[in-house]
Amino acid sequence: MKFIYLSLYLFISSVFTINAQEILSPNKKIKVIIASKKATDDSCYGQVHFKILYKNKLEYIEVMPNSPMGILREDQQFTDNLKLVNESKTKQISQKYEMICGKQKMCNNFGTEKVFKYVNSNNQPLNIAFRVYNDGVAFRYEFTNKTNSLINIVDESTTYVFPPATNRWLQSYTESYEDFFPFSDTGKTANSNNMEWGFPALFKVNNNPVWVLISEANISENNCATKLNNSKNSDEYKVNYASPRDDFKQNGIKTILPWNSQWHTLIIGELSDIVESTLITDVSEPNKLKETNWIKPGAVSWIYWANNHGSKDYEKVITYIDLAVDMKWPYFLIDWEWDAMSNGGNIIDAVNYAKSKRIKPIMWYNSGTSWLEPTPVDHLLTAEKRAKEFAWLNKIGVYGIKVDFFAGDQQDMMKYYIDILKDAAKYHIMVNFHGATVPRGWARTYPNLMTTEAVYGAEWYNNKPILTSKAAEHNTTLPFTRNVIGSMDYTPVTFSNSQHPHITSFAHELALSVVFESGFQHFADKPEAYNSLPPDPKEFLKNVPVNWDKTKLIDGYPGEKIIIARKKGNRWYLGGLNGKDELKTLKINFEFLDKGIFELKIIKDGKDDKSFDTEVMQVQKGDSLDVKCLSKGGFVAILEKLDTVKANKQN
């Protein structure tokens, strides 16, 4: 009987499936099959579906079954009424580029592209462009005809379908993207009313060793951001446009044609492929800035976390400038309420003091679009206001801005982000987006974007006690989810307590400086917490880079553990985290090293969670090392070739 049902299903599928085409990644490991399913047997129109297969050893595994595609405009739809009329030749894309911030300096946009040309039943054109990479898939919709009036694009029928029992780590959608990524194998939460999910979304496909991270990239002023919804079927994740808000009633996107959607991205492969992928920037527009030598990533001292407030108090402000001097960090962030600074000086005095110490100030701004209580508000809302403010920042000697409290993911917010980046670049000002959407590839297009929050970070020790118990698990999930798609302003490495305590070990906290990548790395604790560190961890924090030449995942699993290696110049920096509430041994496999003997200096958990233990040894490619970690513990390490170490000592 099962055979009869299967034969009938295959017969029906073959009857109603037309125009099946496939695209392979350059290394042939990923295969995408695109086909149309006819609504009726005698129709030449139907709905486009795509299927993804992944080659594991000798056979292809179905990663994503047939998944619907399509897009809707207010004037007409392009969903189940599409007919394939033409297709481009398959072409190879190979475009090398350099990133100023991020996990890898030299990148390669290397993949296979094919464009499928459809018309709907009104004979209106729609292109669907696919790119298949060695580590994933990207596709987008393109309206190629021209209009003089605005068109309203209101929805997509794009749906990502997964086999039942697929494991998933999803964040419930919030405008600030500040929540956990809890594990689920059902696609449901304890709150069954919440079935909207934010990007990125991580899946482990059924019982197969294949992972998928879904997000999107290359959003322009003519796009809104999207989210996922699986309310109709827990294994089917439909793409939804950002919801209208009270002061912006627009549904979807309004634009003239021609028009492109953003790239819908799926990073696919082993966990190392996920963590090391640069797909988000690969598909994004190249750098649009003529000069970039003024863009300098770096560590930042930050006043807010330890004081649960802004920068009103001049005397406190200068202690953080002095901290930056002591720790050799190039930047200091003057946070909210700097316009009301008193107790010995004002904002100009603070900036001048920083300059006298050769520390570069960064200043906080309220975007003026959402929570309007912290000041200064409404300095950036128009091009005229931005020009005035940025000229003033140039005059007084400020190098960057942190812009906070954005209102959502609608089209006007996407345009506002990009306008800030464009205008700030004219004045050589670097940017940190806080209370903001997740990275969308803008760091390649506008490399003055140093980092973005969009994470449930250490700031939440100020707000709720929940991070205390969940931080270790959360910290070992973020490298596989949020931090994959771009720099992450978590505000890490805290040893004292804010409003609510942390119970991760000191070595775990130290390791966050390597495990988490951010072009501006805001070290959040109070001066005395860093000044009282033992010599080895203190020296490590003085010199740890914030942007990297290369990144390698050594070992890990979401919510349990991670060992990550990042290279800068001739040195490898390792960070390891134990996400569990029990003692755990993490194994470092040194297979990633070049030939030669390396000196390894490791700083790990000591006898208790507030102490460190340091060891120095020699290792080489092929060796391995067991590192015993406390509950919620961790370690950092520096690797350098022995002959380089000796040469440096002689000099």
Q: Stretch 396-420: mean pLDDT, rounded?
A: 98
* Amino acid identity at 290: K
Mean pLDDT, the chain, integer: 94
Q: Stretch 154-168: mean pLDDT, rounded?
A: 96
Q: Stretch 505-514: mean pLDDT, rounded?
A: 98
Comparing CA positions, the residue from 426, 482, 420, 491 lying closest to residue 454 is 482
Question: pLDDT: is 8 or 226 the higher one?
Answer: 226
The per-residue pLDDT for 308 is 82
Which pLDDT band holds residue 41 (cuts at 50, 70, 90)? low
* Tokens matching residue 443: 């760091």
* Residue 283: exposure state from Cβ atoms within 10 A (0-12, 13-18, ≥19): buried
The per-residue pLDDT for 388 is 98
Give how far Cα 607 sits from Cα of 41, 626, 638, Å.
73, 17, 21
Eight-class DSSP state of 474: H
Instruction: Note the pTM of the prediction, 2 decimals.
Output: 0.96
* Amino acid identity at 304: Y
The per-residue pLDDT for 187 is 83
CB-based contacts of 416-421 (< 8 A; 24+ apart in sequence): 416/367, 416/369, 417/442, 418/220, 418/221, 418/442, 418/446, 419/221, 419/383, 419/386, 420/380, 420/386, 421/446, 421/448, 421/449
Q: Stretch 399-421: mean pLDDT, rounded?
A: 98
- pLDDT tens profile 99-131: 999 999 999 999 999 999 999 999 999 999 999
The per-residue pLDDT for 230 is 96
* Tokens matching residue 131: 């790119």
With a pLDDT cut of 70, the percent of the chain lying above it is 95
- pLDDT tens profile 231-259: 999 999 999 999 999 999 999 999 999 99
Q: Stretch 169-194: mean pLDDT, rounded?
A: 87
pLDDT of residue 8 exceeding 70: no
* Amino acid identity at 518: S
The per-residue pLDDT for 10 is 39
The per-residue pLDDT for 192 is 57
Q: Which structural domains are found in the chain, ordered by start? A: 2-282 (2.70.98.10), 299-549 (3.20.20.70), 561-650 (2.60.40.1180)
The per-residue pLDDT for 512 is 98
Q: What span, in angstroms and rounded, lies between the C-alpha atoms of 209 and 465?
A: 35
What sign results for the dihedral spanned by CA atoms 609, 610, 613, 614?
A: positive
The per-residue pLDDT for 53 is 98
CB-CB contact of 61 with 29 (8 Å): no
pLDDT of residue 5 exceeding 50: no
- pLDDT tens profile 14-38: 444 567 899 999 999 999 999 998 8
The per-residue pLDDT for 643 is 82
Which pLDDT band holds residue 165 (cuts at 50, 70, 90)? confident
- pLDDT tens profile 301-321: 999 998 888 799 999 999 999
- pLDDT tens profile 530-586: 999 999 999 999 999 999 999 999 999 999 999 999 999 999 999 999 999 999 999
Q: Stretch 143-165: mean pLDDT, rounded?
A: 96
Q: Stretch 56-63: mean pLDDT, rounded?
A: 92
Q: Stretch 152-159: mean pLDDT, rounded?
A: 98
Listed in sequence order, the residues at least 6 apart from 343 whose beta carbon sits closer than 8 Å to its beta carbon are: 312, 313, 314, 315, 316
- pLDDT tens profile 271-297: 999 999 999 999 999 999 999 999 999
The per-residue pLDDT for 17 is 56
- pLDDT tens profile 584-629: 999 999 999 999 999 999 999 999 999 999 999 999 999 999 999 9
pLDDT of residue 376 exceeding 60: yes
Which pLDDT band holds residue 190 (cuts at 50, 70, 90)? low
Eight-class DSSP state of 556: E
pLDDT of residue 374 exceeding 60: yes
CB-CB contact of 175 with 407 (8 Å): yes
Q: What span, in angstroms and rounded, lies between the C-alpha atoms of 450 and 420?
A: 13
The per-residue pLDDT for 404 is 97
Which pLDDT band holds residue 3 (cuts at 50, 70, 90)? very low
CB-CB contact of 426 with 288 (8 Å): no
pLDDT of residue 178 exceeding 50: yes
Comparing CA positions, the residue from 156, 99, 102 lying closest to residue 516 is 102
CB-CB contact of 545 with 607 (8 Å): no
* Amino acid identity at 514: V
Question: Which runs of consecutive H residues, i.e. helices, occur in 42-173?
Answer: none
pLDDT of residue 344 exceeding 90: yes
